[in-house]
Amino acid sequence: MRLREVGEDALTWPLTRRTGRPGLYVPSARLGLYLALRGLVPRGSRILMSPVNCETVLFAAVAAGLRPVMAPVSPDDATIDVDLVDWRGIGAVVATHMYGLPGQIERLAAECDRRGVVLVEDCAHAYLTEVDGRHVGTFGAAGAFSLSKHPRAGAGGVLTVADAATRDRLAALRDGLLTAPSTGGEARSMLGPLLRDAVYALRLSTPAWRAARALGIEATHTSDDTRARDLAATAAEHEELPAFDRWMSVGSGGYRTAHGPLLRRFAVRRQRTAERERERRVRGVRLLAELPVVAPSVRRFADQPLFRVPLIVEDRDAAKAALERRGVITTALYTPPLDDDFGPALAEPGPTPETALWWTRHVLPVDPLQAARALPVLRTLGAPVRPAIR
């Protein structure tokens, strides 16, 4: 089933215009990430990634036949700390721009280029992020963007690649994986973002929290050794993506379901909304960057329209509860770290597990569009002691 025949250029144009790269429309960023890893990285390669991550990043790597290796992370933003990387045997890197922060992407890209390592950027949180005038998604071989984050389209993603030949090759791989569109599923995908926007705009607190729960807005992950064993067994027995559907579908059941005209038109409109919100988002980032508990990297990128602004606070649970009473819902929490969650059965441990655990325990990601409403709470928060770097 093909998407290109039904207006794919309109869906990819905003990102191809900003990145200068060919774009491939996908039903989800996670499918885009899988396509990049499967199509650009040799099977069996060891792939470096931050342990502070959405678990679907690890699932995509395992489904692509790769061996995840946990990277050292910086306490400033939980991205890869280039100075502490052991490059021996590394064939690829996934650079996740957590909350829109690109971390040390320039140095990481230079190291990958020098060593012949394939770099793939996870830009799900970085739809609008630039580094010194250069858009993310252009530092590596591919960049996977989400239309569910900044644009709040409910589904969809764009994979940017280096050239048209690569795009066409990955499009053929994509088309062989798509399942038929679902009108009911498309309606649900569009309804969620619209309801969330309405609830937040009305400044309701308890209803906002209930709506977030009902719509699955709050991202949480629970450690379970059984899951790790089951996924390892799946990887040992299967080499095709459909065998990993129950893993890749976590939080997004239609991750490889083709989109019909209704959802595609919605995705085009929502991308325009994200562009219109850019300056408002930047104003929120600048407000939050002035807080003493803000993650240090935010100050460097305070002119960027980040998806979330990470604060590092002593008592995150108490802060979350106080924000909820003001109608500000904390989302995009990724805990525990991937190596804690899945362990050596699936992922080689990294050299800074204490830093990854500290970050996931203390990070409070705040939507910059909700900054003004959250400030009365955030100004009262204290910071935890930073972990020692070995």
pLDDT in tens, 209-226: 565 556 554 444 455 567
Give the DSSP letter of residue 335. Answer: -
73 to each of 101, 119, 204, 389, how far by Cα in Å? 13, 17, 37, 10
Distance, CA of 13 to CA of 375 (rounded, Å): 36
For every one of its 390 residues, what pLDDT tens digit does the chain have, with 9 covering 90 and above? 444 444 799 999 999 999 999 999 999 999 999 999 999 999 999 999 999 999 999 999 999 999 999 999 999 999 999 999 999 999 999 999 999 999 999 999 999 999 999 999 999 999 999 999 999 999 999 999 999 999 999 899 999 999 999 999 999 999 999 999 877 777 777 776 766 776 666 666 556 556 555 655 444 445 556 788 889 899 999 999 999 999 999 877 789 999 998 899 999 999 999 999 999 999 999 999 999 999 999 999 999 999 999 999 999 999 999 998 888 989 999 989 998 888 887 889 999 999 999 999 999 999 999 999 999 999 999 999 888 765
Give the DSSP letter of residue 6. Answer: G
| CATH 3.90.1150 domain span(s) along the chain | 278-378
CA quadruple 38, 41, 44, 49: dihedral, nearest 10: -90
DSSP string, 94-122: EEE-GGG--TTHHHHHHHHHHHT-EEEEE
What type of residue is 103? G
Distance, CA of 62 to CA of 47 (rounded, Å): 10
Under CATH, what is the fold of the domain 4-175?
Aspartate Aminotransferase; domain 2 (3.40.640)
Is residue 89 within 8 Å of residue 45, measured between CB atoms? no
Is the whole-model pTM more than 0.85?
yes
CA triplet 101, 105, 110: central angle to 5 degrees?
175
182 to each of 95, 156, 186, how far by Cα in Å? 32, 14, 6
Is residue 114 within 8 Å of residue 140, measured between CB atoms? no
pLDDT of 185: 75
Tell me the HSE value of 348 on the side-chain side, using a 13 A CA sphere: 16
| CATH 3.40.640.10 domain span(s) along the chain | 4-175
pLDDT of 344: 82
Distance, CA of 261 to CA of 218 (rounded, Å): 28
CA quadruple 236, 237, 243, 245: dihedral, nearest 10: -30
Closest Cα to residue 299, out of 278, 312, 285? 285
Is residue 311 within 8 Å of residue 299, measured between CB atoms? no
Domain boundaries 278-378, corresponding CATH code: 3.90.1150
Distance, CA of 385 to CA of 286 (rounded, Å): 24
